[in-house]
Amino acid sequence: MEKDVVISIAHVRKSFGEKVILADFNLNIYKEENVVVLGKSGSGKSVLIKCIIGLLKPDSGQIIVLESDVTILSDDDLNEVRSKVGFLFQGNALYDSMTVRENLEFPLRRHWLDISEHEVDTLVKEALENVGLAHTTDMMPEELSGGMLKRVALARTMILKPEIILYDEPTTGLDPVTAREIDQLILNLQKKYHTSSIIISHDMNCVRNIADRVVLLLDGKCYADGTYDSLEHSGDKKINQFFES
Amino acid sequence: MIPDTVIVFKNRHLYTEDIASPQPQVYNLIKKYMALLTGTSDFFDETGSITKFTGRFFSHGVKPKYELKEIVAQCYLIGYKSLPLVGLTGFIMGLVLTMQLRPSLVGYGVESQLPVMVGIAIVREIGPVITALIFAGKIGSSIGAELGSMKVTEQIDAMEVSGTNPIKYLVATRVIATTLMLPVLTILGDSISMLGAYIGVNINSVTSLQFFFNQVFHSIGYSDVLPAVIKTVFFGFAVGIIGCYKGFNSSKGTRGVGNSANSAVVLASVLIFVIDLLAVQFTNLLGLN
């Protein structure tokens, strides 16, 4: 039996001025699936996930996220969809004027307006315990290491228990050991909360560890779509260059 | 096939080099005129973008539900935290102005008019404009750098993903705070300036505090105070909106954030003088001068 589609991207085109970034891009993401999007730097991977979350509006095409077309939603309806979609930014994007606790509380209080103080405390504690950083509650982001920042950002992403998570290069800039820990954390959280994910990555170890399916974004289109092994042994020159290292 | 392509490419490349070399002067001339034209069009582009950004502030930022907690926090940071600087500069301004004016007035034999002159100059013009310029330097740059830094580190995007309208949460709160706080700071700054002026008067002669302030208040009316305070509302709005606009449009990198802070101060300062010019014309038209 085929799984439910949680994200459906159809004929999406996005350009900045004369430069076409996405040209007729199509992709379906299924429930509880981890899809890694590979592509060269500047190929439009981050643009793609920003279109999915509604931070950028495509020029044309349809992006259905959890049965809502995010390209035509009103601000309020878009926020409703966003409460079910987590986004882990490449640079973590933690608010540097707030403590770790305040960073985690922010999406909670914004999306769930009638949440009680007790519920906030419980969810913040649970989110930080999930990433093994319960002791950092009152610390400022500047006091944390790169790996810890990534974990806190992941905790903030997971705190609303989203159905879908978009990861923008989750292991970039981390040492191999910490990168493996983050990979494992992503997998553990996915198993625990049954989330579907799109992961943008250049880190082939991360791709091998996490991906159920790998999509290659080339020239603004979905050039290849398959499992890690099938793409690794595809024999296609353009695909192979990503697996040669 | 492949070697042919390479040869064709090489030939084209050589041809391009050959024809490009005899024409540098023509190119430079065209470049020069284009730069002039582009400079003009940049000015209109920038004005259009600021107008559009201000439109977004009015369409999103001033609609309920208000971010009251954040507005109060910004009023504290923008207003209260600027008070020592505004107070110190105001005090020095009053003192120096008095000391500079004194010799001229002594020459004309109207030394007794010193409090009147200083009072009118501070309340009508120097107080509001200097306070606004100090405010633009401190707050405009701080807003530009803070929002610029948030923009390049994707914190503004993160806020949007968290279901928060950044125009409402970041821009509206700061612009409302600058608009409310600058008139208050100006009134306080003017008062401290008067104190400085009183000390300035007393350096060369002995004048009682009561006599000094009697003379000052006798010469100042509502038509002096109200237009001066009202124009600071516009000064405050300009500092806030320009700081936010520059921050939101910051380019990446440390230089981008630095440029945002710097251009926020420069543009806000120019706007303060433009608004001042318009305000004086307007008060003249109303016969308030």
Residue A179's pLDDT is 86
Each residue of A34-44: b (16+ CB within 10 Å) or e? Answer: bbbbbbeeebb
For the cut 80, the answer to whether the pLDDT of residue A2 exceeds it is: no
> In this structure, which long-range contacts are made by residues B51-57, counting pairs with CB atoms below 8 Å and at least 24 apart in sequence?
B53/B241, B53/B244, B53/B245, B53/B248, B54/B241, B54/B245, B56/B167, B56/B171, B57/B167, B57/B171, B57/B172, B57/B175, B57/B241, B57/B244
- Structurally, how many domains does chain A consist of? 1
Q: Quote the CA–CA distance of B125 and B186 in Å, as a whole number.
A: 11
User: A90 forms bridges with which residues in the sheet?
Assistant: none
A66, A100 contact by CB (below 8 A): no
The ipTM value here is 0.88
Q: Assign 3-state DSSP to chain B and report helix, strand, coil percentages, each to 5.
A: 90, 0, 10
Percent pLDDT > 70 in chain A is: 99
The alpha carbon of residue A227 is apart from the nearest alpha carbon of chain B, in Å, by 30
Closest CB to B163: pick one of A93, A95, A111: A111
Strand, helix or coil at A119? Answer: helix
The answer to whether the CB of A128 falls within 8 A of the CB of A134 is: yes
A106 neighbourhood in chain B, CB within 8 Å: 159, 162, 164
B44 part of a folded domain: no
B131 falls within a domain: yes
Give the predicted TM-score (pTM) of the model: 0.83
Rounded to an integer, the average pLDDT of A127-150 is 92
Give the whole-angstrom CA distance, residue A38 versus residue A45.
8
The verdict on residue B36 lying in a domain is: no
Dihedral over Cα of B269, B273, B279, B282: its sign: negative
Q: Quote the CA–CA distance of A48 and A113 in Å, as a whole number.
A: 29
CB atoms within 10 A of CB A136: 21
Total domain count for chain B?
1
In a domain, B49, yes or no: no
Which helix (DSSP H) or strand (DSSP E) does residue A68 occupy?
A: strand A68-69
Take residue B202 and report the two structure tokens written for it: 């007393």
**Contact predicate B236/B179, CB 8 Å:** yes
**B161 Cα to chain A: minimum distance (Å):** 6
CB-closest option in B150, B158, B163 to A89: B158
pLDDT, tens only, B273-289: 999 999 999 988 887 76
Residue A76's domain comprises: 5-243
Rounded to an integer, the average pLDDT of A220-230 is 91
Which candidate from A50, A83, A91 shows the least CB-CB separation from B163? A83
Question: What percent of chain A shows pLDDT beyond 90?
Answer: 61
A13 strand-pairing partners: A60
What range does the domain containing B95 cover?
55-285
Q: Give the N- to C-terminal CA distance of chain A in Å, as an integer.
A: 37
B161 vs A106: CB contact, 8 Å cut-off? no
Report the 10 Å Cβ neighbour count for B244: 29
Q: Does any domain span residue B275? A: yes
CATH number, domain of A73, equals 3.40.50.300
- 3-state secondary structure labels for all residues of B139-198: HHHHHHHHHHHHHHCCHHHHHHHCCCCHHHHHHHHHHHHHHHHHHHHHHHHHHHHHHHHH
| pLDDT number for residue A139 | 95
Q: Which residues of A touch B160 (CB under 8 A)?
A: 55
Alpha-carbon distances of A244 from A199, A200, A202, A208, A210, rounded to whole Å: 20, 18, 12, 13, 19
Mark yes or no for CB contact A96/B155 under 8 Å: yes
Q: Which two tokens stand for residue A67?
A: 């049965």
The confidence score (pLDDT) of residue B4 equals: 37
With cut-offs at 50, 70 and 90, classify the pLDDT of residue A41: confident
Using the structure block, give the residue that is written with the tokens 């002067």.
B25
Q: Say if residue A34's pLDDT is above 70.
A: yes
Note the pLDDT of residue B289: 66
Paired tokens of A42: 């500047």
CA dist., res. B58 & res. B51, Å (int): 11
Which one of B154, B164, B165 has the shortest CB-CB distance to A93?
Answer: B154
Min CA distance, A161 vs chain B (Å)? 13
pLDDT tens sequence across A148-195: 999 999 999 999 899 999 999 988 878 888 888 888 888 988 888 899
Pairwise CB contact (< 8 Å): B163 & A91: no
Look at A95 and B163 and tell me if their CB atoms are within 8 Å.
Answer: no
**Angle, nearest 10°, between helix axes B127-135 and B253-285?**
160
- Please give the Cα distance from A168 to A90 (Å, whole number): 5
Amino acid at A198: I
Compute the Cα dihedral for B227, B230, B234, B239 and give only its sign.
positive
Q: What is the least distance, in Å, from the CA of A218 to any CA of chain B?
A: 24
Burial zone of B88 (CB within 10 Å; 0-12 exposed, 13-18 middle, 19+ buried): middle
DSSP assignment letter at A59: S
Q: What is the pLDDT along chain B (289 residues), one digit of tens a residue?
A: 333 333 333 333 333 333 344 455 666 666 666 656 555 557 788 889 999 999 999 998 778 888 899 999 999 999 999 999 999 999 999 999 999 999 999 899 888 889 999 999 999 999 999 999 999 999 999 999 999 999 999 999 999 998 888 999 999 999 999 999 999 999 999 999 999 999 999 988 888 889 999 999 988 988 889 999 999 999 999 999 999 999 999 987 778 889 999 999 999 999 999 999 999 999 888 877 6
